[in-house]
Chains A and B, each alone.
Chain A
Amino acid sequence: MSKLRVAVDAGGTFTDVCIYHEDTQQFRVTKVPSTPSNPKQAVIDGVRRGEIDLSDVELFFHGTTVATNALITRRFPKAALVTTKGFRDVIEIRDGTKDNLWDAYEDVSGPYIRRRDRFEVTERVDYAGEVVTPLDEEEARILARKLKRRGATTVAVCFINSYANAENEKRMREILEEEIPEASVSTSSDILPEIFEHDRFNTAVANTVLGPLVSDYVKQLDDELSAGGYDNDLLLLHSGGGSMTPAMAKHFPVRLAASGIAAGAIAAKHIAEQCGYQNAVGLDMGGTSTDISLIHDGELRVTKQWGVEYGHPIVFPSIEVLTVGAGGGSLAHIDIAGALRNGPQSAGADPGPACYERGGTEPTNTDANLALNRLGTVLAGGALELNREKATQVIEERVGQPLSLDTAEAAQAVIKVANANMADAVRLVSIRRGLDPRDFALIAFGGAGALHGAEVAKELGIPAVIVPPNPGVTSAMGCLLVDIQHDLSMMYTAAAESADLEDLERQFRSLEDEAVDRLRHEGVADADVVLQRGISMRYQGQWRSLQVAMGSGEASLEDAIEMFHQEHERQFSFRQNALPVEIYQLHLRAVGKTPRPEFPRSERQPGAQAEPHAHREVYFEGQWYQTPVYDRTTLPVGFEFSGPAIIDQLDSTTVVPPDTVASIDEWKNIRIQLIQSGEKA
């Protein structure tokens, strides 16, 4: 009997199921429609469609939009916030800023708990953790009874400076638990013991409102899978690029917000590793948008400035993915002053591009690709037929005529603007880390990534492009590649030069004890546990801190300080050896390794050949080229060819432009090498 690993990645429209057979090392992928009103159903449907016998499954991974959707729609159980007197509105005042700086009619969305459900209690702790005002227990008890009358089922306790001393929060929780035993109560110091009230409060509040909902969902799904014969823990993807078990998801449901977003980035990282690149850009281009991720020194960039919506931070580490409004369905238009623009408005799936003939009347990137013959008229093995005349017509009318360009020129203009916009977005992402994208490989996937990848790379001066075997379902595969992972942190402020090393070691140990405890609780064997310490530091007086890795042993702090200087110089172009360095936070990433799928590898056959199944005229850089069209399934490992070429497959089309050479590598990736103008023969 075959042992399986299964990943179910539930998206907004489709749920992707990726099945890995351990003995044959084969992947199978299937898609079912998502079922937002009963999200569990799509998972079950996917299992059924994939003809999976759950008792064969060794590991079951799941990315879910349950938490994200609940946050966006604000459909929560009856929740309440209990806070320090004078601070009822921390989550409503936020930091006051607007997302859209100039549009006075566009507001930031409202808080997760309305004002009527936020209550104050007399208590106060100061910055140093001293109790300035003890918790007024009588008041607290009266409030608890009031919350009971109001039917609160989940309560967040968020007190000012509780990161420095959690005593009052804990006592408040006890009182609430005594008075409302049926409610779940969490404290901000427990969820995220970090400074800055809005970040901590909002993270705790998001966690609180999601609690009952996520636990229910996870429990039901877990039960159902168990009933079907799966006898391991369900592994839920979290935003930090790892997974967690149902037990932990119950404590930290907010980590499931944007559960699936990291999957594409993880897949990109895997492909980069496979191909021997330490640095890579992931370009995951779909119908309405493109997700850009960055891999540097073999690591994905992690951010703590993150949220499902602007103004509502969730301060757990999250894989940084920048989403830009450029996709196959992005609309090209001429603006009021006669300039050609592309996106961020999109035709979406409905009405879709004009060539879909579902009522779309505006030219999209898909229409432009079709007009240039880069895209064929028959897609998905015949499931979708595109009308090239329609595409040509809208391009001509909406872009060509106004700009006095012929249709091909106009379509090329549309594509070029889209590619330049994506390239600009990649530049912004890379400068955030002080990196030069030219040192990177570009990994192009998603439904439209392989159509645009090579030209985006050219725009960025990136020499190498990799298109994985199944670009359209690469994200789902990413779900199979995650470990169990916890991210812990604590505040620790001290002058780095004179820090008490023993105390520092003690604090790290306590984080490690808690992490190991969690992992054991999740059934991870000690041998599979990997702990990585990190430390945030800053120059005294600076507002932002920088996290670097931290080892153990006597020289570890010294090394970390030097690394901080180096990292500061690399990211920000200067270092200041003379200024005192301050320790700010301690971090711990605790990983419970899960077995990785083995990817089938074939040896390159020298002189491997393939025949195109067709030729067609394709437009590149101002001229039509007679271009071979290959069926990807017929391309053998080791096959080398030069652009221009088009490669069709079920879930994607790859464009290999002129002035490139390409090959099929041992993992069946298409590798496209750009020939810089100077190197041309």
Chain B
Amino acid sequence: MIMAHTYKDNALDPVTFEVLKNAFATSVDLMSEQILRTCYSFVIYSRDFSSALCDAEGNTVMQGSGDIAVHVGTLHFQCKAVLEEFAGDIYPGDVFAINDPYRGGTHLNDVSFIRPIFSEGQIIGFAQNKGHWADIGGSVPGSFDVNASTHFSEGLRITPVRVWREGVFLHDVAQLLVSNTRAPAQALGDLQAQAEATAVCEREVLRLVDKYSKATVVAAMQETQDYVERVVLKSLAGMPKGEWETVDYIDADPALGEGMVPIRIKLTLDGNGIHYDLSGSAPAVSTFLNSSYGTTHSAIYAGTKTFFPDVPLNSGFYRAVTANIGEEGSVVNAGWPHAVTGFCSGPYEKVMNGIFELWSGVMPKRAMACAFNLEYLLIGGNDGRTGSGDYFMWYDWMAGGWGGRQTKDGSSATSPVFGTGLAVQPVEGQERLNPVLTMCHEISMDSAGPGRFRGGCGVEKGGKLTQVDKTVMSYCCDRGRSVTWGVNGGLPSVPHGVWINKGAPDEKYLGATFSNVTVRSGDTFTRPSAGGGGFGDPLEREAEAVLEDVIDGYVSVERAECDYGVVIQVNDPDIDDYEINAERTAKAREWIRANRREWLQTPPEDVAKQYRDGELNVLDVIRRYGVVLDWGTGELLEKSTQQYRDSLAKRSSCYWT
């Protein structure tokens, strides 16, 4: 049963190996403890950061146990970039910075600090901390320029650069970096804090060298990687072999007009590892919703890791999981100078969710439908509350619903899969710092994708600008059209998108990605985060479960009937007195079952017209008729509708009995 040879093949005895492996994890987690307590950026404070110990070649030995998913599998690329640039010119006490997305970075906001660890005059490893700076320059506050087509308008690109030389702080270099951001003092604080954090890891590793010898520590760095590779390969032993394919979409490439942008993922299990092929994906889009090779690999690793939750992350994992991401120039392998800051809302979670779907087939006991897509709303301008009109930046992201699962409903109001440790900000903190009054931050009824196990619920958040001047709003999101999907017969949830002054005569739908829209004092705005997609046929959901959802206001009485075919009679809502009408429920379910395939064949233009005439609402259009519209004007999006119906056919209707 156990392979005695596994450790015999290695140089270290099992105790030393286990102790050092755990000590590496501690040395990296210590970095995280440190940065969490010293950072200036509220984005870092909300846990948008990661830490790693890399070996002398730049391979990751251990990544932080609480790290944000999106950085997973990028830190070794950044470390190698520093090595490529500076090999032979690296000294004890040096610290390097890099954020270059074309050298394995994520996006410009994520700045890495890398410190070599020396023993006996030789580099034995690198300590690295990567954190999301609240601003890195560029044309919009927060550096999320949706309209950017190249990195030049996205902010400061930091190719590998030395910021400390042999312990001496190079203030001129640091000044150059932070002076290209909108909040230089804050950026300088983060720069210091991150560099200090890497020193904590260095100190720990040197302590280990003192105790166990350099040779032992270096050997353990290698064996820790080998170990992880072995864990993955052994885990695959009992699994089926074969190929699985899926496609997910980004809403659109504005340069090409209407029509969703496909990201194709193929998974191959051949007994020798886990292999992905993304080479069939679309060319890079004209906006910033592209991904460079670093982040695409990150999405692949993070998506896969979700099915191997206990495996530590390091380059051993990256050896067991390989990917062909195709030629440079695609939406998942956008090279220089394509804009990539929006990768997190663009390809990243499409790849992750696509991988969830593929593995759900391989490992049904961990199956899960699509989770809501990461979204960021940015409002920046002058704060009218202060006499001096200080610059403010309301930079907001939401929790949303995760997909329904094989044995239970999806998790409601949860951080995005892109980073499950990414905390949403307290409204009271935001209101002190910004002239924005939040009017609503609550779970939205009917936001969960219906299913035998429904998705988790999404959230609605909206507010009012109190006293602002020269202020603009930008939104980095997606899935306004490529709506969060269900699987195994489950249904999609709700489309994303921001409304301005909803309900007023001048209301306007701004969509799920836009940039630099001027807003004024007194304007209101609101947007949902989607719920998760449903798992399994909603007509098979227990009526009692639907009743409970109605009592809690997760599902309305109306949608209980339309989506689940469960008819609920309202007796006295004040005391939660509702009951299931069994007879009408049986009929409703029968009727839906008999007609639902046909509904999906309804001519889309008819559906669009009924929507425009107010006869159908968004959920009817999305869930019952499978049609995608411009949710503001009601204009039919024909090509997107075709793609969307293809997805529904494959993920939902083909499972219906």
Interface residues of A (CB under 8 A from B): 85-90, 92-98, 100-105, 107-108, 114-116, 124, 126-127, 132, 146, 149-150, 160-161, 163, 195-199, 334-342, 401-405, 412-413, 416-417, 420-421, 424, 427-428, 431-432, 493, 539, 541-544, 571-574, 576, 579
Question: A-B pairs with CB below 8 Å: how many?
Answer: 231
Q: Does chain A have a CB within 8 A of B14?
A: yes
Q: Does B306 have its Cβ within 8 Å of any Cβ on chain A? A: yes
Which residues of B216-250 have CB atoms within 8 Å of chain A's CB atoms? Answer: 227-228, 230-231, 234-235
Task: Please report which residues of chain B, range 401-459, place their CB below 8 angstroms from some CB of chain A when the two chains form the complex.
Answer: 402, 405, 407-408, 411-415, 420-424, 426-429, 431-432, 437-443, 459
Q: A87-B440, A416-B15 provided; 5 other pairs, C-beta below 8 A?
A: A87-B427, A93-B424, A97-B420, A196-B429, A573-B34
Are the CB atoms of B199 and A337 closer together than 8 Å? no
Cross-chain pairs A/B with CB under 8 angstroms, 20 sampled:
A86-B438, A89-B459, A93-B424, A95-B415, A97-B415, A97-B421, A102-B309, A102-B310, A115-B443, A196-B429, A336-B234, A404-B8, A420-B18, A424-B25, A428-B29, A493-B432, A541-B186, A572-B38, A574-B193, A576-B189
CB distance from B313 to the nearest CB of A (A): 9
Contact B30 A431 (CB under 8 A): yes
Q: Which residues of B contact A (CB under 8 A)?
A: 1-4, 6-8, 13-15, 17-19, 21-23, 25-26, 29-30, 33-34, 36-40, 42, 45, 47, 65-66, 69, 183, 185-186, 189, 192-193, 196, 199-200, 204, 227-228, 230-231, 234-235, 305-306, 309-310, 356, 366, 368, 398-399, 402, 405, 407-408, 411-415, 420-424, 426-429, 431-432, 437-443, 459, 466, 551-554, 574-576
> Nearest residue in A to B10 (C-beta to C-beta)?
A338
Name the A residues within 8 Å of B552 (CB-CB).
114-116
* Distance in angstroms between the alpha carbons of A163 and B424 in the assembled complex: 20
In the bound complex, residues from chain A placing their C-beta under 8 Å from that of B42 are 543
With A93-B441, A337-B227, A413-B14 in contact, is A98–B415 under 8 Å at CB?
yes
Chain A residues whose CB sits within 8 angstroms of the CB of B231 once the complex forms = 335-337
Task: Output the nearest chain A residue to B316 by Cβ-Cβ distance.
Answer: A337
Q: Are A98 and B553 in contact (CB under 8 A)?
A: no
Give the contacting residue for B196; candidates A149, A543, A574; CB below 8 A: A574
- Which has the most chain B C-beta neighbours within 10 Å: A97, A108, A571? A97
Cβ of A98: which chain B residues have Cβ within 8 Å of it? 411, 414-415, 420-421
Q: Which partner residue on chain B sits nearest A162 by CB separation? A: B428
* Known interface pairs A161-B431, A401-B4, A417-B18; A88-B305 also in contact (CB < 8 Å): no
Q: Is A116's CB under 8 angstroms from B551's CB?
A: yes
Most buried by A among B1, B37, B39, B459: B37
CA distance A403 to B9 in the complex (A): 11
A340 CA to B22 CA in the complex, in Å? 11
User: Hey, which chain B residues are within 8 Å of A93, CB to CB?
Assistant: 399, 413, 424, 441-443, 459
Taken together as a complex, chains A and B put the C-alpha atoms of A86 and B459 apart, in Å, by 11
Bound-complex Cα distance A198 to B430 (A): 13
Decide: B420 and A427 in contact? CB cutoff 8 A.
no
A132 cross-chain contacts in B, Cβ below 8 A: 437
A217 → chain B, closest Cβ, in Å? 29
Q: A335 vs B235: C-alpha distance in the bound complex, in angstroms?
A: 11
**Which residues on A sit within 8 Å (CB–CB) of B429?**
195-196
Which chain B residues border A542 with CB–CB below 8 Å? 39-40, 189
* B420 CB contacts on chain A under 8 angstroms: 97-98, 101-102
Which residues on the B side are within 8 Å of A94 (C-beta)? 413
- Assess whether A573 is in contact with B196, with CB atoms less than 8 Å apart: yes
A96 / chain B contacts, CB cutoff of 8 Å: 398-399, 413-415, 422-424
Q: How far is the CB of B163 from chain A (nearest CB, A)?
A: 15
Cβ–Cβ contact A127 & B185, under 8 A: no
Beta-carbon contact of A104 and B402 below 8 Å: yes
Q: A116-B552, A420-B22 are in contact. Are A541 and B2 (CB under 8 A)?
A: no
Which residues on B sit within 8 Å (CB–CB) of A416?
Answer: 15, 19
Known contacts being A149-B575, A539-B189, A572-B196, is A337 close to B230, with CB within 8 Å? yes
Contact B443 A572 (CB under 8 A): no
Which A residue sits closest to B16, measured CB to CB? Answer: A416
Instruction: Known contacts A116-B551, A163-B428, A541-B189; decide if A571 and B37 are in contact (CB<8 Å).
Output: yes
| Structural contact, A95 and B423, CB atoms closer than 8 A | yes
Compute how far the CA of A427 lies from the CA of B201 in the bound complex, rounded to whole angstroms: 12
Q: Which residues of chain B are within 8 angstroms of A107 by Cβ–Cβ distance?
A: 411, 414
**Closest B residue by C-beta to A147:** B574
Residues of A within 8 A of B185 (CB): 541, 579
| Cα(A475)–Cα(B422), bound, Å | 37
Pairs A-B, 4 closest by C-beta atoms: A338-B6, A96-B399, A86-B440, A402-B2
Distance, CA A102 to CA B302, complexed state (A)? 9
Q: Is the CB of B14 within 8 A of A403?
A: yes
A160–B6 CB distance below 8 A: no
Q: Which residues of B contact A163 (CB under 8 A)?
A: 428
User: Which residues from chain B contact A334 at a C-beta distance below 8 Å?
Assistant: 2
**A341→B310 CA distance, assembly (Å):** 13
Closest-by-CB residue of A relative to B551 is: A116
A338 to B8, CA, bound (A): 10
- The answer to whether A87 and B26 touch (CB under 8 A), given A97-B422, A115-B552, is no
Residues in A with CB closer than 8 Å to B408 are: 105
Of chain B, the residue at the smallest CB distance from A145 is: B574
CA distance A93 to B401 in the complex (A): 10
Structural contact, A104 and B366, CB atoms closer than 8 A: yes
Residues of B within 8 A of A124 (CB): 437
A617 to B21, CA, bound (A): 32
Nearest opposing residue in chain B for A102, CB measure: B309
Contact A92 B413 (CB under 8 A): yes
Nearest-neighbour CB distance to chain A for B42, whole angstroms, equals 5
A107 to B401 alpha-carbon distance, docked (Å): 12
One of A338, A401, A402, A573 near B230 (C-beta < 8 A):
A338
Note all chain B residues with C-beta closer than 8 A to A88. 442-443
CB atoms of B192 and A574 under 8 A apart: yes
Residue in A closest to B38 when the chains form the complex, CB atoms: A572
Name, among A115, A163, A195, the residue most crowded by chain B CB atoms within 10 Å (CB to CB): A115
Given A160-B428, A428-B26, A544-B45, answer yes or no on A89-B442 (Cβ-Cβ < 8 Å).
yes
In the complex, the answer to whether B437 meets A197 with C-beta atoms within 8 Å is no
| Bound Cα distance A149, B306 (Å) | 46
Smallest distance from the beta carbon of B228 to chain A beta carbons, Å? 8
Which A residues are CB-close (under 8 A) to B405? 104-105
Assembly CA distance A417 to B14 (angstroms) = 9
Q: Which residues of A contact B37 (CB under 8 A)?
A: 432, 544, 571-572
Residues from chain A with Cβ under 8 Å of B69 in the complex = 101
Taking CB atoms, residues of chain B closer than 8 Å to A146 are 574
Which among A101, A115, A160, A342 is the interface contact of B554 at CB below 8 angstroms? Answer: A115
Most central of A93, A103, A108, A420 by chain B CB within 10 Å: A93
What's the nearest-Cβ distance from chain B to residue A402, in Å? 4
Contact B227 A339 (CB under 8 A): yes
A428 to B42, CA, bound (A): 23
A101 and B69 alpha carbons, distance in the complex (Å)? 9
Q: Are B66 and A101 in contact (CB under 8 A)?
A: yes
Cβ–Cβ contact B443 & A89, under 8 A: yes
